[in-house]
Structure 1
Amino acid sequence: MSKDCGKHGGGGGGSAASRICGAIIAFIIIVLITIFLVWVILQPKKPRFILQDTTVFAFNLSQPNLLTSNFQVTIATRNPNSRIGIYYDRLHVYATYRNQQITLRTAIPPTYQGHKEDNVWSPFIYGNAVPVAPYNAVALGDEENHGLVELIIRADGRVRWKVGTIITGKYHLHARCHAYLNLADKSNGVLVGENAVKYTMANKCSVNV
Protein backbone atom coordinates (compact mmCIF):
# COMPACT_ATOMS: atom_id res chain seq x y z
CA MET A 1 0.00 0.00 0.00
CA SER A 2 1.41 3.43 -0.94
CA LYS A 3 1.81 6.32 1.51
CA ASP A 4 1.40 10.06 1.02
CA CYS A 5 1.62 13.21 3.16
CA GLY A 6 -2.10 13.23 3.85
CA LYS A 7 -2.30 9.63 5.13
CA HIS A 8 -0.44 8.39 8.15
CA GLY A 9 -1.25 6.00 10.86
CA GLY A 10 -0.40 5.98 14.53
CA GLY A 11 2.95 4.27 13.96
CA GLY A 12 6.35 5.95 13.76
CA GLY A 13 6.61 5.27 10.01
CA GLY A 14 3.67 7.54 9.23
CA SER A 15 5.02 10.38 11.36
CA ALA A 16 8.43 10.14 9.70
CA ALA A 17 6.88 10.23 6.23
CA SER A 18 4.80 13.30 7.09
CA ARG A 19 7.86 15.08 8.50
CA ILE A 20 9.83 14.33 5.33
CA CYS A 21 6.99 15.58 3.13
CA GLY A 22 6.65 18.72 5.22
CA ALA A 23 10.40 19.39 4.99
CA ILE A 24 10.36 18.96 1.20
CA ILE A 25 7.40 21.35 0.81
CA ALA A 26 9.05 23.91 3.11
CA PHE A 27 12.31 23.66 1.11
CA ILE A 28 10.50 24.20 -2.21
CA ILE A 29 8.66 27.23 -0.79
CA ILE A 30 11.91 28.74 0.52
CA VAL A 31 13.63 28.22 -2.87
CA LEU A 32 10.74 29.83 -4.75
CA ILE A 33 10.65 32.80 -2.36
CA THR A 34 14.42 33.23 -2.66
CA ILE A 35 14.28 33.20 -6.48
CA PHE A 36 11.42 35.71 -6.44
CA LEU A 37 13.24 38.06 -4.04
CA VAL A 38 16.48 37.87 -6.03
CA TRP A 39 14.56 38.61 -9.24
CA VAL A 40 12.78 41.59 -7.67
CA ILE A 41 15.95 43.02 -6.08
CA LEU A 42 18.03 42.70 -9.26
CA GLN A 43 15.22 44.04 -11.51
CA PRO A 44 16.42 42.41 -14.74
CA LYS A 45 16.06 44.51 -17.88
CA LYS A 46 15.91 43.42 -21.51
CA PRO A 47 18.99 44.04 -23.69
CA ARG A 48 18.84 47.15 -25.86
CA PHE A 49 19.32 46.97 -29.62
CA ILE A 50 20.08 49.88 -31.95
CA LEU A 51 20.36 49.67 -35.75
CA GLN A 52 23.27 52.02 -36.38
CA ASP A 53 23.53 51.81 -40.16
CA THR A 54 22.71 49.79 -43.26
CA THR A 55 24.98 49.49 -46.27
CA VAL A 56 23.21 48.52 -49.49
CA PHE A 57 25.32 46.64 -52.03
CA ALA A 58 22.44 45.39 -54.18
CA PHE A 59 18.69 45.82 -54.30
CA ASN A 60 17.00 44.74 -57.51
CA LEU A 61 13.40 43.69 -58.09
CA SER A 62 13.02 41.84 -61.39
CA GLN A 63 10.21 39.98 -63.10
CA PRO A 64 8.49 37.78 -62.25
CA ASN A 65 8.57 39.16 -58.68
CA LEU A 66 12.14 38.14 -57.83
CA LEU A 67 14.21 40.22 -55.41
CA THR A 68 18.00 40.15 -55.19
CA SER A 69 19.47 42.07 -52.27
CA ASN A 70 22.71 42.36 -50.34
CA PHE A 71 23.15 44.40 -47.16
CA GLN A 72 25.57 44.86 -44.30
CA VAL A 73 23.90 46.02 -41.11
CA THR A 74 25.51 47.30 -37.93
CA ILE A 75 23.61 46.47 -34.75
CA ALA A 76 24.76 47.74 -31.35
CA THR A 77 23.54 45.94 -28.23
CA ARG A 78 23.80 46.93 -24.58
CA ASN A 79 23.23 44.99 -21.39
CA PRO A 80 21.61 47.57 -19.08
CA ASN A 81 21.86 45.34 -16.00
CA SER A 82 24.50 46.00 -13.34
CA ARG A 83 24.33 42.52 -11.73
CA ILE A 84 23.12 40.27 -14.54
CA GLY A 85 25.10 38.92 -17.51
CA ILE A 86 23.55 37.73 -20.77
CA TYR A 87 24.50 34.70 -22.84
CA TYR A 88 23.49 34.96 -26.51
CA ASP A 89 23.41 31.26 -27.36
CA ARG A 90 21.84 31.60 -30.78
CA LEU A 91 21.03 34.71 -32.79
CA HIS A 92 20.09 35.07 -36.47
CA VAL A 93 19.75 38.35 -38.37
CA TYR A 94 17.67 38.78 -41.52
CA ALA A 95 15.50 41.30 -43.38
CA THR A 96 11.76 41.30 -44.02
CA TYR A 97 9.43 43.38 -46.13
CA ARG A 98 5.82 43.56 -44.99
CA ASN A 99 6.25 40.43 -42.85
CA GLN A 100 7.82 38.45 -45.70
CA GLN A 101 11.40 37.27 -45.29
CA ILE A 102 13.52 38.54 -48.18
CA THR A 103 17.03 37.45 -47.13
CA LEU A 104 18.66 34.37 -45.71
CA ARG A 105 19.38 34.24 -41.98
CA THR A 106 22.92 35.10 -40.91
CA ALA A 107 24.13 33.61 -37.63
CA ILE A 108 25.88 35.72 -34.99
CA PRO A 109 28.59 33.75 -33.11
CA PRO A 110 27.53 32.82 -29.54
CA THR A 111 28.76 35.43 -27.08
CA TYR A 112 28.54 36.57 -23.46
CA GLN A 113 27.66 40.15 -22.58
CA GLY A 114 28.78 41.27 -19.13
CA HIS A 115 27.27 43.84 -16.80
CA LYS A 116 26.66 47.22 -18.51
CA GLU A 117 28.62 45.91 -21.51
CA ASP A 118 28.19 46.81 -25.20
CA ASN A 119 28.57 44.66 -28.29
CA VAL A 120 28.54 45.62 -31.96
CA TRP A 121 27.71 43.17 -34.74
CA SER A 122 28.04 43.87 -38.49
CA PRO A 123 26.65 40.83 -40.33
CA PHE A 124 26.03 40.59 -44.08
CA ILE A 125 22.50 39.53 -45.05
CA TYR A 126 21.51 38.71 -48.59
CA GLY A 127 19.01 36.96 -50.82
CA ASN A 128 19.43 35.88 -54.45
CA ALA A 129 16.30 35.87 -56.65
CA VAL A 130 13.96 35.49 -53.68
CA PRO A 131 10.30 35.10 -54.78
CA VAL A 132 8.17 37.95 -53.45
CA ALA A 133 4.40 37.74 -53.04
CA PRO A 134 2.69 39.59 -55.94
CA TYR A 135 0.99 42.14 -53.68
CA ASN A 136 4.29 42.82 -51.90
CA ALA A 137 6.10 43.14 -55.22
CA VAL A 138 3.63 45.83 -56.33
CA ALA A 139 4.04 47.75 -53.06
CA LEU A 140 7.83 47.37 -53.16
CA GLY A 141 7.95 48.62 -56.75
CA ASP A 142 5.89 51.68 -55.80
CA GLU A 143 8.17 52.44 -52.84
CA GLU A 144 11.25 52.02 -55.01
CA ASN A 145 9.85 54.46 -57.57
CA HIS A 146 9.07 57.00 -54.85
CA GLY A 147 12.50 56.45 -53.32
CA LEU A 148 11.81 55.40 -49.71
CA VAL A 149 11.73 51.66 -48.94
CA GLU A 150 10.92 50.46 -45.45
CA LEU A 151 12.44 47.17 -44.32
CA ILE A 152 12.51 45.46 -40.94
CA ILE A 153 15.86 44.07 -39.80
CA ARG A 154 15.13 41.23 -37.41
CA ALA A 155 17.25 39.41 -34.86
CA ASP A 156 15.79 36.20 -33.41
CA GLY A 157 17.48 33.88 -30.98
CA ARG A 158 17.79 32.53 -27.47
CA VAL A 159 19.41 34.07 -24.40
CA ARG A 160 20.25 32.99 -20.87
CA TRP A 161 20.69 35.19 -17.80
CA LYS A 162 23.64 34.85 -15.41
CA VAL A 163 23.35 35.99 -11.79
CA GLY A 164 26.56 35.25 -9.90
CA THR A 165 27.17 31.55 -10.53
CA ILE A 166 23.51 30.85 -11.37
CA ILE A 167 22.58 30.53 -15.07
CA THR A 168 18.92 30.40 -16.05
CA GLY A 169 17.27 28.37 -18.79
CA LYS A 170 16.92 29.67 -22.33
CA TYR A 171 14.53 32.48 -23.26
CA HIS A 172 13.40 33.48 -26.75
CA LEU A 173 14.58 36.91 -27.91
CA HIS A 174 13.02 38.89 -30.78
CA ALA A 175 14.38 42.28 -31.90
CA ARG A 176 12.74 44.40 -34.63
CA CYS A 177 14.58 47.34 -36.21
CA HIS A 178 13.09 49.69 -38.82
CA ALA A 179 15.36 50.52 -41.77
CA TYR A 180 14.31 53.33 -44.12
CA LEU A 181 16.31 53.31 -47.37
CA ASN A 182 16.15 56.17 -49.85
CA LEU A 183 17.25 54.17 -52.86
CA ALA A 184 16.27 56.83 -55.40
CA ASP A 185 18.60 59.49 -53.99
CA LYS A 186 22.03 58.12 -53.05
CA SER A 187 23.03 61.53 -51.68
CA ASN A 188 21.05 60.59 -48.56
CA GLY A 189 23.77 58.06 -47.81
CA VAL A 190 27.54 57.79 -48.11
CA LEU A 191 29.16 56.10 -51.10
CA VAL A 192 31.48 53.38 -49.80
CA GLY A 193 32.16 51.60 -53.08
CA GLU A 194 31.37 51.67 -56.74
CA ASN A 195 27.70 50.86 -56.15
CA ALA A 196 27.43 50.57 -52.34
CA VAL A 197 25.68 53.21 -50.24
CA LYS A 198 25.81 53.42 -46.44
CA TYR A 199 22.78 54.86 -44.65
CA THR A 200 23.27 56.05 -41.07
CA MET A 201 20.19 55.43 -38.91
CA ALA A 202 20.68 55.03 -35.15
CA ASN A 203 17.17 53.55 -34.86
CA LYS A 204 16.11 52.01 -31.55
CA CYS A 205 14.75 48.51 -31.94
CA SER A 206 11.84 46.89 -30.14
CA VAL A 207 12.97 43.90 -28.08
CA ASN A 208 10.84 41.11 -26.62
CA VAL A 209 12.17 38.37 -24.36
Structure 2
Amino acid sequence: MSVKHDHDCGNHRWHERHHDGIRRFFKVLLFLVILVLITVLIVWLVLRPTKPKFYLRDTTVMAFNLSITPSLLTTIIQATIAVRNPNQRIGIFYDRLQVYASYKSQPITLSSNIRPSYQPHKGVSVLSPFLYGTNVPIAPYLSTSLNQDEQSGSALLTVKIDGRIRWKVGSWTSGRYRLFVNCPAYLSFDTTFGSTDSNILSPVVRFQRISSCSVTV
Protein backbone atom coordinates (compact mmCIF):
# COMPACT_ATOMS: atom_id res chain seq x y z
CA MET A 1 0.00 0.00 0.00
CA SER A 2 2.84 2.38 0.81
CA VAL A 3 4.44 1.82 -2.62
CA LYS A 4 1.20 2.77 -4.36
CA HIS A 5 0.83 5.81 -2.14
CA ASP A 6 4.37 6.98 -2.95
CA HIS A 7 3.67 6.48 -6.66
CA ASP A 8 0.49 8.57 -6.47
CA CYS A 9 2.33 11.32 -4.60
CA GLY A 10 5.04 11.36 -7.27
CA ASN A 11 2.45 11.74 -10.04
CA HIS A 12 0.74 14.51 -8.10
CA ARG A 13 3.99 16.43 -7.65
CA TRP A 14 4.81 16.02 -11.36
CA HIS A 15 1.41 17.39 -12.39
CA GLU A 16 1.83 20.33 -10.02
CA ARG A 17 5.24 21.16 -11.46
CA HIS A 18 3.84 20.81 -14.99
CA HIS A 19 0.92 23.13 -14.25
CA ASP A 20 3.23 25.61 -12.51
CA GLY A 21 5.44 25.67 -15.60
CA ILE A 22 2.46 26.35 -17.86
CA ARG A 23 1.24 29.12 -15.57
CA ARG A 24 4.70 30.73 -15.50
CA PHE A 25 4.90 30.55 -19.30
CA PHE A 26 1.56 32.29 -19.77
CA LYS A 27 2.44 34.90 -17.15
CA VAL A 28 5.67 35.71 -18.99
CA LEU A 29 3.83 35.76 -22.33
CA LEU A 30 1.15 38.08 -20.94
CA PHE A 31 3.82 40.36 -19.48
CA LEU A 32 5.59 40.60 -22.84
CA VAL A 33 2.35 41.36 -24.69
CA ILE A 34 1.44 44.09 -22.19
CA LEU A 35 4.98 45.50 -22.43
CA VAL A 36 4.78 45.67 -26.23
CA LEU A 37 1.35 47.32 -26.11
CA ILE A 38 2.53 49.89 -23.57
CA THR A 39 5.61 50.64 -25.69
CA VAL A 40 3.50 51.12 -28.81
CA LEU A 41 1.07 53.34 -26.89
CA ILE A 42 3.89 55.49 -25.50
CA VAL A 43 5.47 55.87 -28.96
CA TRP A 44 2.07 56.75 -30.40
CA LEU A 45 1.34 59.36 -27.74
CA VAL A 46 4.80 60.91 -27.97
CA LEU A 47 4.85 61.15 -31.76
CA ARG A 48 1.14 62.03 -32.16
CA PRO A 49 0.67 61.50 -35.92
CA THR A 50 -0.77 64.46 -37.79
CA LYS A 51 -3.12 63.83 -40.71
CA PRO A 52 -1.75 64.59 -44.18
CA LYS A 53 -2.39 67.93 -45.88
CA PHE A 54 -4.07 68.14 -49.30
CA TYR A 55 -4.15 71.17 -51.63
CA LEU A 56 -6.03 71.50 -54.92
CA ARG A 57 -3.49 73.34 -57.07
CA ASP A 58 -5.22 73.25 -60.43
CA THR A 59 -8.26 71.90 -62.24
CA THR A 60 -8.10 71.67 -66.02
CA VAL A 61 -11.64 71.36 -67.38
CA MET A 62 -11.52 69.74 -70.83
CA ALA A 63 -15.26 69.17 -71.16
CA PHE A 64 -18.25 70.45 -69.24
CA ASN A 65 -21.37 69.88 -71.31
CA LEU A 66 -24.86 69.92 -69.83
CA SER A 67 -27.83 68.69 -71.81
CA ILE A 68 -30.96 70.33 -70.45
CA THR A 69 -33.54 67.84 -71.81
CA PRO A 70 -32.84 65.23 -70.58
CA SER A 71 -30.55 66.34 -67.75
CA LEU A 72 -27.22 64.75 -68.68
CA LEU A 73 -23.76 66.05 -67.78
CA THR A 74 -20.50 65.18 -69.50
CA THR A 75 -17.35 66.18 -67.62
CA ILE A 76 -13.64 65.66 -68.25
CA ILE A 77 -11.36 67.15 -65.60
CA GLN A 78 -7.70 66.78 -64.72
CA ALA A 79 -7.14 67.67 -61.08
CA THR A 80 -3.70 68.50 -59.72
CA ILE A 81 -3.52 67.78 -55.99
CA ALA A 82 -0.48 68.32 -53.76
CA VAL A 83 -0.17 65.99 -50.76
CA ARG A 84 2.15 66.75 -47.84
CA ASN A 85 3.10 64.61 -44.86
CA PRO A 86 3.67 67.11 -41.99
CA ASN A 87 5.02 64.52 -39.55
CA GLN A 88 8.70 64.60 -38.59
CA ARG A 89 9.10 60.91 -37.68
CA ILE A 90 6.08 59.18 -39.16
CA GLY A 91 5.66 57.87 -42.70
CA ILE A 92 2.30 57.26 -44.37
CA PHE A 93 1.17 54.35 -46.53
CA TYR A 94 -1.60 55.28 -48.96
CA ASP A 95 -3.11 51.86 -49.59
CA ARG A 96 -6.03 53.10 -51.65
CA LEU A 97 -7.10 56.48 -53.00
CA GLN A 98 -10.20 57.00 -55.13
CA VAL A 99 -10.74 60.47 -56.60
CA TYR A 100 -13.95 61.81 -58.14
CA ALA A 101 -15.77 65.11 -58.69
CA SER A 102 -19.17 66.05 -57.32
CA TYR A 103 -21.63 68.91 -57.61
CA LYS A 104 -23.83 69.65 -54.59
CA SER A 105 -23.01 66.20 -53.13
CA GLN A 106 -23.89 64.29 -56.33
CA PRO A 107 -20.98 62.50 -58.06
CA ILE A 108 -20.59 63.72 -61.63
CA THR A 109 -17.58 61.58 -62.62
CA LEU A 110 -16.41 58.03 -62.11
CA SER A 111 -13.76 57.34 -59.48
CA SER A 112 -10.13 57.42 -60.59
CA ASN A 113 -7.95 54.95 -58.68
CA ILE A 114 -4.51 56.11 -57.53
CA ARG A 115 -1.91 53.38 -57.17
CA PRO A 116 -0.73 52.57 -53.61
CA SER A 117 2.30 54.53 -52.43
CA TYR A 118 4.44 55.36 -49.41
CA GLN A 119 5.21 58.93 -48.33
CA PRO A 120 8.17 59.50 -45.97
CA HIS A 121 8.08 62.05 -43.18
CA LYS A 122 7.98 65.65 -44.45
CA GLY A 123 7.45 64.26 -47.94
CA VAL A 124 5.48 66.01 -50.69
CA SER A 125 3.84 64.31 -53.67
CA VAL A 126 1.55 65.40 -56.50
CA LEU A 127 -1.50 63.57 -57.83
CA SER A 128 -2.85 64.35 -61.32
CA PRO A 129 -5.85 62.09 -61.94
CA PHE A 130 -8.20 62.42 -64.90
CA LEU A 131 -11.86 62.42 -63.88
CA TYR A 132 -14.39 61.32 -66.49
CA GLY A 133 -18.17 61.39 -66.53
CA THR A 134 -20.03 60.79 -69.81
CA ASN A 135 -23.75 61.57 -70.01
CA VAL A 136 -24.18 61.27 -66.26
CA PRO A 137 -27.87 61.63 -65.31
CA ILE A 138 -28.40 64.41 -62.79
CA ALA A 139 -31.51 65.54 -60.95
CA PRO A 140 -33.54 68.27 -62.72
CA TYR A 141 -32.97 70.68 -59.84
CA LEU A 142 -29.19 70.25 -60.27
CA SER A 143 -29.54 70.97 -63.96
CA THR A 144 -31.41 74.15 -63.08
CA SER A 145 -28.78 75.06 -60.49
CA LEU A 146 -25.93 74.54 -62.98
CA ASN A 147 -27.76 76.69 -65.50
CA GLN A 148 -28.07 79.43 -62.88
CA ASP A 149 -24.36 79.10 -62.04
CA GLU A 150 -23.55 79.53 -65.72
CA GLN A 151 -25.62 82.69 -65.81
CA SER A 152 -23.87 84.06 -62.71
CA GLY A 153 -20.45 83.18 -64.16
CA SER A 154 -19.13 80.79 -61.50
CA ALA A 155 -19.75 77.42 -59.86
CA LEU A 156 -18.40 75.36 -57.01
CA LEU A 157 -17.49 71.72 -57.62
CA THR A 158 -15.87 69.43 -55.08
CA VAL A 159 -12.99 67.07 -55.80
CA LYS A 160 -13.30 64.24 -53.29
CA ILE A 161 -10.91 61.52 -52.19
CA ASP A 162 -11.91 58.34 -50.38
CA GLY A 163 -9.02 56.20 -49.20
CA ARG A 164 -7.22 54.01 -46.69
CA ILE A 165 -3.95 54.94 -44.98
CA ARG A 166 -1.51 53.41 -42.48
CA TRP A 167 1.06 55.11 -40.24
CA LYS A 168 4.67 53.84 -40.12
CA VAL A 169 6.96 54.48 -37.14
CA GLY A 170 10.33 52.75 -37.49
CA SER A 171 9.58 49.08 -38.18
CA TRP A 172 6.06 49.30 -36.73
CA THR A 173 3.05 49.87 -39.00
CA SER A 174 -0.44 50.69 -37.76
CA GLY A 175 -3.73 49.25 -38.94
CA ARG A 176 -5.72 50.88 -41.73
CA TYR A 177 -7.57 54.14 -41.21
CA ARG A 178 -10.31 55.61 -43.40
CA LEU A 179 -9.40 58.86 -45.17
CA PHE A 180 -11.89 61.46 -46.45
CA VAL A 181 -10.74 64.54 -48.38
CA ASN A 182 -12.89 67.37 -49.76
CA CYS A 183 -11.31 69.94 -52.08
CA PRO A 184 -13.43 72.91 -53.22
CA ALA A 185 -12.92 73.72 -56.90
CA TYR A 186 -14.04 77.25 -57.77
CA LEU A 187 -14.74 77.50 -61.49
CA SER A 188 -15.56 80.49 -63.68
CA PHE A 189 -17.66 80.31 -66.85
CA ASP A 190 -17.05 82.12 -70.11
CA THR A 191 -20.01 81.62 -72.44
CA THR A 192 -18.55 83.74 -75.23
CA PHE A 193 -17.18 80.65 -76.96
CA GLY A 194 -19.73 78.12 -75.77
CA SER A 195 -22.06 75.85 -77.70
CA THR A 196 -24.61 77.44 -80.04
CA ASP A 197 -27.17 74.73 -79.24
CA SER A 198 -29.71 76.20 -76.80
CA ASN A 199 -30.29 72.74 -75.32
CA ILE A 200 -26.61 72.27 -74.42
CA LEU A 201 -24.66 74.27 -71.86
CA SER A 202 -21.02 74.09 -72.98
CA PRO A 203 -19.13 77.15 -71.69
CA VAL A 204 -15.38 77.61 -71.44
CA VAL A 205 -14.56 76.80 -67.80
CA ARG A 206 -11.52 78.06 -65.92
CA PHE A 207 -10.11 77.21 -62.50
CA GLN A 208 -10.04 80.27 -60.23
CA ARG A 209 -7.64 79.66 -57.33
CA ILE A 210 -5.66 77.17 -55.26
CA SER A 211 -7.68 75.82 -52.36
CA SER A 212 -6.90 73.96 -49.15
CA CYS A 213 -8.77 70.69 -48.67
CA SER A 214 -10.54 69.45 -45.55
CA VAL A 215 -9.15 66.11 -44.32
CA THR A 216 -10.78 63.59 -41.99
CA VAL A 217 -9.03 60.45 -40.70
Q: TM-score, with normalisation over the residues of structure 2? A: 0.81
Ranges in structure 2 where 5+ consecutive residues have no aligned partner: 1-14, 193-202
Deviation above 3 Å: which 4+ runs of structure 1? 195-198
1:32 alignment partner in structure 2: 37
Contact kept in structure 2, 1:55 and 1:196, CA below 8 Å: no
C-alpha displacement of 1:200 = 4.5
The one of 43, 61, 64 equivalent to 1:59 is 64
Are 2:213 and 1:208 aligned? no
Contact kept in structure 2, 1:71 and 1:124, CA below 8 Å: yes
C-alpha displacement of 1:166 = 1.9
Higher fraction of helix: 2
1:44 alignment partner in structure 2: 49
Cα separation, partners in 2 of 1:162 and 1:77, compared to 1, 3 Å: same
Give the alignment of 1:72-151 within 5 angstroms.
72-151=78-157
Rg larger for: 2
What is the distance in 2 between the residues matched to 1:61 and 1:31? 58
Q: Tell me how large the CA RMSD over aligned residues is.
A: 1.9
Deviations 1:157-202 (A, max 9, x none): 111222112222222211100111111478xxxxxxxx86542422
Contact kept in structure 1, 2:191 and 2:204, CA below 8 Å: no
Ranges in structure 1 where 5+ consecutive residues have no aligned partner: 1-9, 187-194
1:190 alignment partner in structure 2: none
Deviations 1:93-143 (A, max 9, x none): 110111111001112222221110101111111211000022222222222
1:157 alignment partner in structure 2: 163
Identity of aligned residues (%): 48
The alignment partner of 1:11 has SS state of: helix
The alignment partner of 1:52 has SS state of: strand
The alignment partner of 1:201 has SS state of: coil
The count of aligned residue pairs is 192
- Residue type of the alignment partner of 1:32: L
